[in-house]
Structure 1
């Protein structure tokens, strides 16, 4: 071997060692962030500072894993073995379909290992409790939403009116009850796997999208995709971003249709959750990186404006809703939670939702487009975290963001990382009794 070749090999070895060292440090930070969040939370709970949270930073209780978790564990093990192979070898459309099916099965099996798929939506403080108030007059209810906000359940008071109207729609068609609502939420939430993969293919190529599929389908965030409305928000947001990118390709009719669809979906996000406003940074970054044509962007903006105009015409003004919800939040016990603790503990929860593979992948190089969208999601989360309005209960709030940040997991080297993600999800489901 020539001296030049030896030098190249030596540099390669040193570079790989450096990357391994960075990965090890990232995993230590990931573990210490989670452990520190629980340790500090336990102390604050014992002192009575966090009396409304029994397992801070999570809003739940500790429980002993039950045997009912075994089917999910068995499926997770099988998925770790076969899904990466199928995602790599099948035709891309079939790979998307198989990954979506895997996401559905993994999410449902996790949910039924505890209280069942629909149990979280039966809580008296959840959205379904207000459907009798909507009755047969959704427009009348919408027009009076801000005025009657103090009379509504906790989740309704903390959000714009669109989540209630979403759940009202299948009930109005005769598909009433928490099970139908749960099926809708899980189906849309898991479809983010497909939407994000389509976006990644446009940003970093098909190979990058195929590598991401197993991590999207087996994300630890699946614990809270079944069943919280935030999973529905995640699906809506992901498809909005995907349609925006797809709107830059193909014929004029396709561009117009995708652009308008993207605008409607993305424009609906602030009416689904006030906490999704920072999420809009993601489609902005994606549009820039993917060089979405100006006409597609303008069509999307038109669709978003149409959503705002429709709500205003129906009698709901978004700024008035923000002010009314902020007043309810300020009077709620959650507002008294310590800001500084949750400033870092919220990130500990994000670490749990995204898993160790994400921590490892953040230290590795990858397609620039993928890293850009991950960075956008991280910045959006940090902005929401610093704002102080997310003091606890973020295990569901972070779900739409965690799916994009979790793309970094696909950059982690080796085949062990999907297993690490599955184990993380099983531990969260088995050890935490969550109201969502």
Structure 2
């Protein structure tokens, strides 16, 4: 070894350590923020200043004793995934990989939820505040129910009156198709929510290349956010937004009729978002980032626009005017004794700690590099693959910040953040494969939350 090489090695090691410091600092901030959010929440509740939740910042309660033996199946799924997912992501043909990731994500979500028994998969939907409890008012005349939705809003269940009419109509259509009981609705939500793993992987491949998409797959499939995919309706919202964005990304990479069909279908799905939840408007930052990265041709943009207007036009013609729905929902929100009574100053910070629980330490470690790559791409006016992979994640983070600062999301964000958190997981693609230590940390985070809390949605 020459003297020059001897000098280079310590210099390279020092440079690597310097680059790694912000990432480990981000992990420390992640852990500290979560700890502080629960500590302050405990103090506020003890002082009688935060009585809406039993375990703020989560709308949950602590378990009396962690059911260790019940977590064994989920722990076994996690261990198998940590070992197998990096291998599958590297070796499977791309055509098979999204489906394999979908299956792995579904197994992980079901294993976590089943730690409380198989009945726990459908239990969240059986609550008197949930959408299925409001279906009795829809069954006699769905069209009349839609036309009078805003006027009769105060008489609906909590989640029906807190959202536009589309989620309730989706569950009504599922019930009308034949299956009885909330078990089928739970299966539908879990299948849809976990399919977003495939959609996000497809999007990352379109904007950043196959290598980074493969690196993202294990983190997408083995995410702490899976805790709230079984079974919160927000998991269905995630699927709609993710597949709409994926179809947009595919349309930009295709030509001819297939591109137009994909763009129109993507627009149709994205046009559903404001009618699923009023809080999904900031999620449009993600498809906007994909548009900037892919720069689709004008006729693709025209097809996208045609798809986007279908759902708003249909609901307007059928008697539901979206601005009136926003106004009426805001009025019921302000007069209720629920979210509006929670502390803005506490939750504007604590909500972000909850986002950290959904995304895990691997995303916290990758986020400084993602932001750095994106900053470099903006300066150079050319997107590198790491910057392209980071862009949807950062766009989702911007959407979260906008919604958080608005003050309409005070608590219960463990489900509200699900459509956003899944995109943040794409930033973990910047870990060098196989990154099994970070995968294990993600799984451990989810197992710890499942062991220590009882949530209405997991």
The residue aligned with 2:180 is 176
User: Is the 8 Å Cα contact of residues 37 and 350 (structure 2) preserved in structure 1?
Assistant: yes
Task: Answer yes or no: is 1:138 the counterpart of 2:142.
Answer: yes
The residue aligned with 1:91 is 93
CA distance in 2 between counterparts of 1:165 and 1:15 reads 56
The residue aligned with 1:420 is 441
User: Is the 8 Å Cα contact of residues 130 and 160 (structure 2) preserved in structure 1?
Assistant: yes
Task: Answer yes or no: is 1:277 the counterpart of 2:285.
Answer: no
After TM superposition, give the deviation of residue 4 of structure 1 in Å.
6.3
- Deviation by residue 1:253-297 (Cα, 9 ceiling, x = unmatched): 111111111111001000000110000011011111122222212
Compute the TM-score of the two structures, normalised by the length of structure 2: 0.93
RMSD: 1.4
User: Is the 8 Å Cα contact of residues 244 and 297 (structure 1) preserved in structure 2?
Assistant: no
- Deviation by residue 1:3-35 (Cα, 9 ceiling, x = unmatched): 765665444322210122222211110000000
User: Is the 8 Å Cα contact of residues 76 and 106 (structure 1) preserved in structure 2?
Assistant: yes
After TM superposition, give the deviation of residue 138 of structure 1 in Å.
1.7
Task: Answer yes or no: is 1:230 the counterpart of 2:234.
Answer: yes
After TM superposition, give the deviation of residue 412 of structure 1 in Å.
2.9
CA distance in 2 between counterparts of 1:301 and 1:47 reads 52
- Deviation by residue 1:360-395 (Cα, 9 ceiling, x = unmatched): 111335611111111111111000000000000000
Task: Answer yes or no: is 1:355 the counterpart of 2:356.
Answer: no
After TM superposition, give the deviation of residue 136 of structure 1 in Å.
4.5
1:138-287 alignment to 2 at 5 Å? 138-287=142-291
After TM superposition, give the deviation of residue 346 of structure 1 in Å.
0.1
The residue aligned with 2:409 is 390
User: Is the 8 Å Cα contact of residues 358 and 412 (structure 1) preserved in structure 2?
Assistant: no
Compute the TM-score of the two structures, normalised by the length of structure 1: 0.97
User: Is the 8 Å Cα contact of residues 389 and 429 (structure 2) preserved in structure 1?
Assistant: no
Call closer, same or farther: CA 1:307–1:8 in 2, change over 3 Å: farther
After TM superposition, give the deviation of residue 409 of structure 1 in Å.
2.0
Q: 1:68 aligns with which of 62, 67, 70?
A: 70
The residue aligned with 1:27 is 27
* Secondary structure of the corresponding residue to residue 128 of structure 2: coil
The residue aligned with 2:53 is 53
The residue aligned with 1:36 is 36
User: Is the 8 Å Cα contact of residues 125 and 182 (structure 2) preserved in structure 1?
Assistant: yes
Call closer, same or farther: CA 1:130–1:71 in 2, change over 3 Å: same
The residue aligned with 1:380 is 399
Task: Answer yes or no: is 1:105 the counterpart of 2:107.
Answer: yes
- Deviation by residue 1:289-312 (Cα, 9 ceiling, x = unmatched): 122222212211111112111000
The residue aligned with 2:420 is 401
The residue aligned with 1:81 is 83
- Deviation by residue 1:206-246 (Cα, 9 ceiling, x = unmatched): 01011111111111000000000000000100000000011
Call closer, same or farther: CA 1:347–1:241 in 2, change over 3 Å: same
Matched residue pairs, number? Answer: 436
After TM superposition, give the deviation of residue 332 of structure 1 in Å.
1.7
